[in-house]
Amino acid sequence: MIKGKVVFTQLLPLMAASVFSSASFAGTKTCTGTVEKVGLHAPDKLMLKLSSMNTPVFICSPEYKWTVAGTSYTTSAETCKMMFSMLMHAKSTQADMGKVWFDGDDVPTDCSSWGSWKRANVRYFTY
């Protein structure tokens, strides 16, 4: 019996390390505010910066289906074009975006902590 306990106590840290090393740390974050920047980065990526964000983030492509690591959500090229139009309208009218849901491995825990040149999928927004 003691021999079994020794084996179990030795295996427990290994099992925990295995679980944590294979876990995905993808993020989901809602950010708020007004649209400060909408940009097109050559050759084919759209960028967004809300007033609550510290830097613009790549959010889709008007040329191809947008996928990012850490989420199963995708954005079609056609949806990206519609989103660009909506975001430009929101910027020009200074509309409050309410909440914008970002998903993916690059999503930080805080809207003011985005890293440079990061990518996310915009799952949902309304204004």
Largest CA distance in the chain: 72
**pTM for the whole structure:** 0.78
pLDDT at 3 (0 to 100) = 54
β partners of residue 101: 30, 124
pLDDT at 109 (0 to 100) = 95
> Contact, 75 vs 122, CB < 8 A?
yes
What are the per-10-residue average pLDDT scores of the chain (127 residues)? 48 40 65 97 96 98 97 97 96 96 97 97 91
d(CA 102, CA 60): 12
Sign of CA dihedral 41, 45, 51, 54: negative
Amino acid at 67: T
What is the radius of gyration, based on Cα positions, of the chain? 20
d(CA 61, CA 52): 23
